[in-house]
Amino acid sequence: MKRALLSVWDKTGIVDLARVLADNGVKILSSGGTGKALGEAGIGYTEVSAYTGSPEMMDGRVKTLHPKIHGGLLGRRGIDDAVMEEHGIEGIDLLAVNLYPFEMMTGKDLPLAELVEYIDIGGPAMIRAAAKNYRDVAVVVDPADYPAVADAVARGEFSPELRLDLAKKAFARTAVYDAAISNYLHGLDGLFPGVYTVQFGNGRVLRYGENPHQQAAVYGTEGIAAQVPLQGKQMSYNNYLDADAAVGLVREFNEPCAVIVKHNNPCGVAIGSSALEAYIAAREVDPVSAYGSVIAFNREIGAALAEEICATFVEVVIAPSFTDDGLEAMKTKENMRVLTLPEPIVADRIRSIDGGALVQRTPDYTESWEVVSDRDPDAKELQGLQLAWKVCKHTKSNTIIFADEHGVIGIGAGQMSRVDAAKIAIEKARRSLEGCSVASDAFLPFPDTLEVAAGAGATALVQPGGSIRDAEVIEAANRLNVAMIFTGIRYFRH
């Protein structure tokens, strides 16, 4: 390796890499702020403009766009040598570049004329040139790769595998960079861009998809998508789906809470004075369905809770942390997957459909709870309504949830008829529904669902409201002495 070109916006680690290059006799080309950082560290370099014989111009817009730069990156060793010699082009064997921070600057509400100055041109062009010629040029776009590159420089050898891996990463970086620019510009005239481009990394092949005859993979560097088990078997496609559902619901609660999910629907939810108390109560909602489930907690798991979990068959356990003896206790179920609850990620939700995709974004919003019945709910009823409403939000439509102030009692999920959802919830309940609260994810178009719920013992109900027959439903609530609240927000979940 004879020559390297360093031109980075993010200076993290660049001086250390340059020092390794210099110590191994590699000549360094640099420009602008990168050169200044090298000079301050006492590392010799040649200005790009001095090498090309062309000054930087147009406020720095043109500096590396020159045949001596791109020829040095693209020239095929052993093929283009004569042409390079004829034109005075020296080969560039290593390129370290990272780009103007366009993605970061879009969050600063800059005028478009100012923002476009953060669209890097020379950087992506050099990265693509070097990556195309990866057999002869090592290209590094991520400071996290500097140690591996420095080791290769010190050894005097870049393996073909490392070169190709760096090139893959380089093309991925320019792809996501261009996507950010495209999405921003296409979105100037509306909430969503006319062309929507996304990229997910960290791809891992799964054993199969929803069923064994289907193929699947998971992608993502954050949230549930990035999680790998602390113990247990590899996560499956369905495990990830259920884990996502469980985590979304458990995050709704501040109190110690346990959420049990089966087939993407909660089958047990409870709060308590401890995670252990919450789990036992949640499991008792539907112990048959809890068999082979995914469980999420919002509190640390210790030995006592771990032993209780291991008393039955559980596919996945998720919690923010685990005590040492808790992890040790769970080893008795060696196949049970144990995940750490990640920080929530605010991002668009994307679902594929035939020929394309649906994209959904949830902005900040406020529910407006309004008592519409003659009678206000009492304190216990209100607590039950609040809990049931949170569960409604994360259960497949149509859904009816019966709950008290401590947890769910009956769940009716994913029904075409709201009345049938109520009947299923009543049938699933393993204890009396007398005095409980009910939540409906969407408005009640007729009084029938309320009448079924009241007939089972419910005394309070929460729903979005907004039906043309609201007056009839309110009249029925008053006739049945049911306290009813409208929230103004619907929670369909398809």
Better pLDDT: 112 or 305: 305
pLDDT of amino acid 59: 67
pLDDT at position 415 over 80: yes
Q: Alpha-carbon distance 61 to 267, whole Å?
A: 59
pLDDT at position 246 over 90: yes
Looking only at the bridges linking them, the beta strands covering 204-205 and 257-262 are unpaired
Domain extents in the chain: 3-186, 237-340, 370-486
Both tokens of residue 300?
Answer: 């640390």
Beta-carbon contacts of residue 304 (< 8 Å; ≥ 6 apart): 276
Active site residues: 132, 263
pLDDT of amino acid 393: 96
Categorize the per-residue pLDDT at 261 as very low, low, confident or very high, splitting at 50, 70 and 90. very high
Q: Quickly name the fold that domain 3-186 has.
A: Rossmann fold (3.40.50)
pLDDT of amino acid 297: 98
Mean pLDDT of all residues in 414-426: 96
Categorize the per-residue pLDDT at 465 as very low, low, confident or very high, splitting at 50, 70 and 90. very high
pLDDT of amino acid 57: 65
Mean pLDDT of all residues in 462-487: 97
Q: Over the stretch 201-214, which tens digit does the pLDDT of each residue have?
A: 999 999 999 999 99
Q: Quickly name the fold that domain 370-486 has.
A: Cytidine Deaminase; domain 2 (3.40.140)
Does 3.40.140.20 match the CATH number of domain 237-340? yes
pLDDT of amino acid 210: 95
Categorize the per-residue pLDDT at 143 as very low, low, confident or very high, splitting at 50, 70 and 90. very high
Q: In the beta sheet, which residues pair with residue 62?
A: 57
pLDDT at position 493 over 90: yes
421-452: b (≥16 Cβ within 10 Å) or e: bbbbbbebbeeebeebbbbbbbbbeebebbbb
Q: Alpha-carbon distance 296 to 277, whole Å?
A: 14
Place of tokens 């403009």: 49
Q: Alpha-carbon distance 260 to 491, whole Å?
A: 20
Beta-carbon contacts of residue 235 (< 8 Å; ≥ 6 apart): 206, 218, 227, 228, 229, 243, 316, 337, 339
Q: Give, for 84, the enclosing helix (H) or strand (E).
A: helix 81-86
Mean pLDDT of all residues in 103-127: 88
pLDDT at position 454 over 90: yes
55 alpha carbon, distance to own chain's centre: 44
pLDDT of amino acid 47: 87
Note whether 3-186 and 370-486 share their fold. Answer: no
pTM given for the model:
0.87
Phi, psi of 137 (to 5 degrees): -125, 125
pLDDT of amino acid 147: 95
